[in-house]
Amino acid sequence: MLRGKASLSVARRKFMRGLGVLAAAGSSATLSRAALAADPKTLRPRWMQGVPVNQWTAIPGTALSGMDCSAQLAAGLTNPRFQDIGYGDPRRGILAYSGGALKADGSEMLIFGGGGAGAWAGNDVRGLRLEDDAPIWRTRVNPTVAAHVSSRYAPPAAYMLDGKTPSARHSYWSPQFIDAKNKFMVFGCAITWSSDTGQFFAVDGVAIDTGVWDTPRTYPDLPLRRGWDGNWTCKHPVSEDVYVSSASAVSKWTRARNSWSTLWQSARTDVDRASAAIDPTGSGTLLRVGDYGAHNIPLAIDLATGAFSRMTSSRHSWWRGSGTVSASSSSSWVASAILCLETSAAAIVTGDTSSCRRAGRVAWGLNHLSPPDQTRPDLSSARLLRLFETLVA
């Protein structure tokens, strides 16, 4: 039995490192065979016991189609049968073009979204606590009541009719969880419930334990205008500073000062059409891969100086280091990143994944960073599984 905060903290970190999930298009996760093998079985929740390493598994009881929507019913957004009564699908609508974040305490997945195209009018936050033996979805922040929800055909707005709580929207990559503040935050707002359009630059936060949203303008707006609704956002795993892309630049929100600064600027206008991750070693590096010219060239941006380098050569591209990872579906093909924390080895995967090879203990090489004919490569879960088995063997 674990006793005291220190023991619990150590156990939690070990559990989170041991969560075995492959990164595929439209998801973000980490995978560590070494960490999982080293963890005592007692640290694993019941659903995880006996699950082979490097294998997809469906966690029983976690389908949103079976979620208890009593909070949504109380807000007047659904009926006792949890059906669409004009405010969208109360169970699955929240997932439409939307994302979430991970709360370290409890290894809890938090989701927020829905919004446009009649998906979901609620601004609730839902959580799935992965350290539970039998995880189920719960409403962690209740939705604003129906009386304060705009008509689906009203002009778009960043806030509900109460002027206090954020509008439902496609959240894309905007959610982040700031563990030091115990707050769920959303960086920007696009494609709201009302009118299925809109682009706003508000930053909002809610204390996950109280469910009370901070007053609008508690956090300064995004300083740079994005060109794409689903612009990438990523969090530094140590400082919890947040990096947000615009069409031509990368901005940094410094958590300790609640202020924005510009990390890097470009003459290009597709900076936000990509995925990004932070390597926290040394002064820190932001790694970005996605639409950056015809060949999908990865970039490495120094977090201390803003200096960048294109990680490419005539035939190979190299990425050194370790950190967190995200993966995204870009405009014309899938770009994915797979990272192995325990071996400090990483591979950026886009296009011809068959040419990935090890170049040393802390580097991996990959030919053909994008398919010559711009066709979508085979990055199915089975393909990714075979690829990762090769990487960590």
DSSP state letters, 251-277 = EEEETTTTEEEEEEE-S-S-TTSEEEE
Q: Domain spans of the chain? A: 60-221, 233-393
Amino acid at the residue 180: A
pLDDT score for 42: 54
pLDDT score for 340: 28
**Measuring CA to CA, which residue among 237, 218, 311, 198 is closest to residue 17?**
237
Supply the mean pLDDT for the chain: 76
Angstrom distance (rounded) from CA 77 to CA 89? 9
pLDDT score for 309: 86
Weakly modelled stretches of the chain, pLDDT under 70: 1-42, 291-296, 311-393
Give strand pairing partners of 115.
Answer: 120
**Measuring CA to CA, which residue among 94, 99, 102, 150 is closest to residue 123?**
94
pLDDT tens track for 330-387: 322 223 333 322 223 333 333 333 344 444 433 333 333 333 333 433 434 344 344 4
pLDDT score for 256: 97
pLDDT score for 44: 87
**Measuring CA to CA, which residue among 133, 139, 138 is closest to residue 60?**
133
Angstrom distance (rounded) from CA 66 to CA 82? 10
| CA 347 from centroid of its chain's CA atoms | 19
pLDDT score for 264: 95
Angstrom distance (rounded) from CA 194 to CA 171? 14
Q: In whole angstroms, how far apart are CA 345 and each of 22, 26, 386? A: 15, 22, 17
Q: Are 200 and 187 in contact (CB under 8 A)?
A: no
pLDDT score for 55: 85
